Chain A
Amino acid sequence: MTATTLPTLLQGDVSVGDTLPQLAYPVTATTVVLGALAARDWRPMHHDKDFAIHRNGTRDIFLNTPNQAAWFERFVTDWTGPHGRLQRMTFRMLGSIFPGDTMVFDGTVTETGIDETGCGWVAIDISVSVDGDPKTTCKARVALPTTSDDNPWDRKGDQWRP
């Protein structure tokens, strides 16, 4: 199928060293609890402050990992638009994010290419930090259209090599 919605970003528009638009977000208890419940993570350290302090030894409840993945996805697709199709993400957890923190997402393109099937892709190093201190890093690879009538979502089977 040929998409009539034009891509907002083509693989050829991206160069190594390009940066993604920064995203800063003030985290509240609601951010943490909503994110945990959206991810069906009922564990108390993501909604019960007393438990987090007295059992986990942290200063407050903290953002859960699956919800952080959802934040990283949003950060990438805000930049790529809907044609961007994630191929892979590698996360490294360094510290926790608490209510009252302003989390800041930054991303830099580290690599770009076209695979053997003709699928365009870019690799991005992303970090979410608080007061300049990285809390989680994510290496992501996302497929992008190579032309305005290309759509990575059309790929299936051996034409999709993430």
Chain B
Amino acid sequence: MSAIREADIEGLTGVEQYAEVGEFPVERGYIWTTCSSVENGNPLFWDEELAEELTGGPIAPPTMVSVWFRPHHWAPDRTGSALPLQVHFDLKEGLGLPEAVMSDNTIVFYEPVRPGDRLRTSQILRSVSAEKTTKLGTGRFWVIDVEYQNQNGERVAVESYTGFGYVRAADGTTEVSK
């Protein structure tokens, strides 16, 4: 975890950072709890025979991909772990931009995620804009990709986040600050 300053941007663009393997394998309890939380009755997640027939066995809902990387609330011998989207926080710190919002994010889905998978993730800075002024304040836009792979090195998903780090305008307010 280190601040990304102006002079670091070029060298870090396109470079994989913060690679880590999830703390636990993909498991069906969370799949069912998630489906239950949104009343998702898709038989792919509830009917073994149908899952075998359509997807060659059980899979996780594709939108759960980030779930497998949220750290336990507590764990023994915890030494501190990188925040999700640590690169976002490194940019805020290094560029001296105290506020930030995520304007949008995209997830692209590749190989299905399956129970038992040990997924790996990494963060890649894609771009940082020149200084811009919006109604929130003056700052920079950046795009960060989060790559996800399974234990066979197959890509399972890529998330792209567009963030705007800024110094608040005199009368600016923001509801969703990250």
Contact = CB atoms under 8 A, between A and B. Distances in A.
Interface string A139-162: 000000000000101001000101
Interface of B: 30, 33-44, 50, 53-56, 61-64, 66-67, 70, 73, 102-112, 175-176
Interface in A43-74: 57-58, 66-67, 69-74
Interface string A20-63: 00000100000100110111111000000000000001100000
A40 B30 contact: yes
A31 B34 CA distance: 11
A72 to B, nearest CB: 7
A162 B54 contact: no
Secondary structure type dominating chain B contacts: mixed
Given A5-B53, A67-B37, A160-B110, A42 B61 contact: no
Contact of A35 (B37, B54, B73): B37
A161 to B, nearest CB: 10
27 contacts: A1-B53, A1-B56, A5-B53, A34-B36, A34-B37, A38-B33, A39-B34, A39-B66, A39-B70, A40-B70, A41-B70, A42-B73, A70-B40, A70-B64, A73-B40, A73-B61, A74-B35, A82-B42, A82-B43, A83-B54, A86-B63, A86-B109, A87-B109, A88-B106, A91-B104, A91-B105, A153-B112
